[in-house]
Amino acid sequence: MTRTAATHLDAATTTLLAGSLRALFAANAGPDAVATGLAELGWDEVLAGDPAAATTLLFTEHGRALATSRALDGVVLAELAPWLPAASGPRAVLHPHPADGDDLRTPAGPLRGLLLGALDGVAEVVVPTGPADAARLLVVPAAQVAGSAAPAGGFDPRSGWLAVSGAAAAPATTSVAAASAWTRGLAAGRRALAAELLGVCEAALALAAAHTSGRVQYGRPIASFQAVRHRLAEAHVAVEATRSTLDAAWAAAGAPDGGAWAARVAKHRAGSAQAEVMRHCVQVLGAMGLSLEGDLHRYVTRAAALDALLGGHLWLAETTGTALLDGAAVDPVVEI
C-alpha cells in the first residue's frame, strides 16, 4: 500500500468524515440506508485513497454508534472478489460460526455460519469452506440460504445477525479454490473488527468517564477516587494497546498474505481489551451499569458479540500460542 500526500486523510478531513459517519449511523435506518449513505459520501473514493485510515474510521464510528450493517461483508468481499466469477448482483458473506473457530465447514457439508443481516436485495452469498489451509469459496444463490436463516439471538439481541444452519449447497454451486483469498479476506475482516471493537470500547469508556465525573458520593465526584479512576486509566491503556496493534496490522497489510499474522494479533488484542474495558466500566457504573435503563449493557453485549466474530480472543490466544510454539514466523514490527 502506498500512501501519497494527495489522498492521505488529514486531520480536518477525518473530523469532517467522522461527523458524517456519526450522523449516518445515528439515523439507525438499517443496512441498506448505511450502504446508500456511504455511496453518497463517495466512500469508495475515500477508501481507495487511504484504505487504512478510511477503514479504521468507518468501523470505529460503526462501533461507537453500535450500528448494524453489512459493511464488514464489503471489506471481506473486496479481498475475495478477484477470485470469484462476476457477480449477478449484490453479495453477502456467510461468516464462520463463532462456535467453529477457524474450522471451516467442508464444501459438501451443511451450510452453517452467520449473516450480518437479512438478505433482502442480496443476490448471492459467498461461503468460505474448509479446510482452512485449502479453503474453497462457494457462491450460493441467496434464496438457497435465506430459508435456513434465523435470528442469531445470543448475547446481543440487537446485532441483527442471522444464524444459518441448513442443507448442503446445491451441487451446481460455483466453488473456487481460494485459500490465499480467504487468508486475505479474514485478515481484512479482522482489522475492521478490531477497529469496530475500538469504537465500542471508546464509547463505553467515555460513558463511564462521564458518569463517574458527574456522580457525587461522599461529597466528591467518584472519578476523583483512585480506586475508580485507576480502573478507567487501565481501560485506556488496553484501548491504546489495541490501537497500536491495529496500526501495526495496517502497516503489515501490504504483504502477500494480507498481513494475516498482524491482523490476527490485532483482533486478539481488541478482543481481550473489550473484556477488560467492559469489566472496568461495568464496575464503576455501579448498579447503573447493570440496569437496562442505562446504556452500558448495549456496549457490553455488542463488544462480546464482535469479539466472537472471526475468532474470539480466547480462541485466538490459544491458536496463536500454538502457532508460536510451532515456530510460526512472526512478522517483525514494520518500520514506520
The residues that touch other proteins, with contacts defined as CB under 8 A, are 205, 209, 212-213, 220-221, 223-226, 229-230, 232-234, 236-237, 240-242, 244-245, 247-248, 251, 262, 265, 268-269, 272, 314, 316-318, 320-322, 324-325, 327, 330, 333, 335-336
- How near is the Cβ of 242 to other proteins at its closest, in Å? 7
CB-CB contact of 198 with 314 (8 Å) = no
**Cell triple for residue 1?**
500500500
- How near is the Cβ of 270 to other proteins at its closest, in Å? 10
List the beta bridge partners of residue 141. Answer: 124
Residue with cell 471489506: 75
60 or 245: whose CB is closer to other proteins? 245
- How near is the Cβ of 228 to other proteins at its closest, in Å? 8
79 or 202: whose CB is closer to other proteins? 202
List the beta bridge partners of residue 92. Answer: 125
115 or 238: whose CB is closer to other proteins? 238
**Cell triple for residue 90?**
449484490
Other beta carbons within 10 angstroms of residue 106's beta carbon come to: 12
* DSSP character at residue 85: P
172 or 227: whose CB is closer to other proteins? 227
116 or 195: whose CB is closer to other proteins? 195
How open is the CA angle 203-223-65, to the nearest 5 degrees? Answer: 10
CB-CB contact of 214 with 285 (8 Å) = no
293 or 326: whose CB is closer to other proteins? 326
- How near is the Cβ of 212 to other proteins at its closest, in Å? 7
Q: What are phi and psi of 171, to 5 degrees?
A: -55, -30
In angstroms, rounded to a whole number, what is the distance separating the alpha carbons of residues 234 and 277? 8
- How near is the Cβ of 141 to other proteins at its closest, in Å? 39
In angstroms, rounded to a whole number, what is the distance separating the alpha carbons of residues 321 and 317? 6
- How near is the Cβ of 318 to other proteins at its closest, in Å? 5
In angstroms, rounded to a whole number, what is the distance separating the alpha carbons of residues 184 and 76? 8
Q: How far from 298 is each of 48, 107, 222, 318, CA to CA, in Å? A: 32, 36, 23, 28
- How near is the Cβ of 262 to other proteins at its closest, in Å? 8
CB-CB contact of 223 with 212 (8 Å) = yes
40 or 240: whose CB is closer to other proteins? 240
256 or 327: whose CB is closer to other proteins? 327
In angstroms, rounded to a whole number, what is the distance separating the alpha carbons of residues 86 and 81? 8
CA torsion, ordered 112, 116, 121, 122, to nearest 10 deg: -40
135 or 262: whose CB is closer to other proteins? 262
- How near is the Cβ of 192 to other proteins at its closest, in Å? 18
Phi-psi region of 258 (alpha: psi -120 to 50; beta: other; left: phi over 0): left
- How near is the Cβ of 333 to other proteins at its closest, in Å? 5
